[in-house]
Amino acid sequence: MKKSLLPLIPVALSLLGACGAPSKDASPKAPDVEATAPGSSVPLEGTEWLLVDLGGKPAIAGVGTRKASLSFTGDSGSLRGNSGLNSFFGPYALDGSKLRIENLAMTRMAGPPELMEQEGAFVATLCVARSWRVEGDVLVLVDEKGATLATLRAGGP
């Protein structure tokens, strides 16, 4: 029996406006902010970060060769990524170790339910992450209370 993906369309559409409207304190990335964590040789910006753990659960493989990933660009203050199913992009702001990601836009392909669930959680995590740190080659995204939301491993330049 073939399963219909039609029930997943509203989920995918809701992710299109992923992080909502900008907050009053969101601002473009300051060009003089150092985006390398103290004691780390892996910079936040210019590195492809591959999702390892999300909310305490191991990341699941994406569709085909796609991997859930995230990359921050230094000069433009924009990020791009992939949920393992859909691509996303949008602005971010840094202030030292503080991070704000808002107004993500995404493609809207449907996929396996478990991957759609991970996608929703990954995008939601990006929207609530308020700080970051790099430990060796691992990026840790943290919420406003200091709880770890996700870990990503450096996967390339």
Is residue 3 domain-resident? Answer: no
Burial 123-135 (b: 16+ CB within 10 A, else e): bbbbbebbbbbbe
Task: Fill in the DSSP letter of residue 125.
Answer: H
Residue 108 contacts residue 12 (beta carbons within 8 Å)? yes
pLDDT digits (tens, 9 = 90+) for 113-147: 999 999 999 999 999 999 999 999 999 999 999 99
Is residue 106 domain-resident? Answer: yes
Q: Name the H helices within the chain.
A: 9-16, 113-128
CATH code of the domain covering residue 95:
2.40.128.270
Is residue 1 domain-resident? Answer: no
What's the number of CA atoms in the CB half-sphere (13 Å) around residue 105?
4
Residues of the domain holding 136: 8-20+33-156
Is the pTM above the cut of 0.85? no
pLDDT digits (tens, 9 = 90+) for 65-112: 889 999 999 878 999 999 999 999 999 999 999 999 999 999 999 999
Is residue 38 domain-resident? Answer: yes
Is residue 25 domain-resident? Answer: no
Domain tally for the chain?
Answer: 1
* pLDDT band per the 50, 70, 90 thresholds, residue 6: very low
pLDDT digits (tens, 9 = 90+) for 21-54: 444 444 444 333 445 555 567 999 999 999 999 9
Is residue 58 domain-resident? Answer: yes
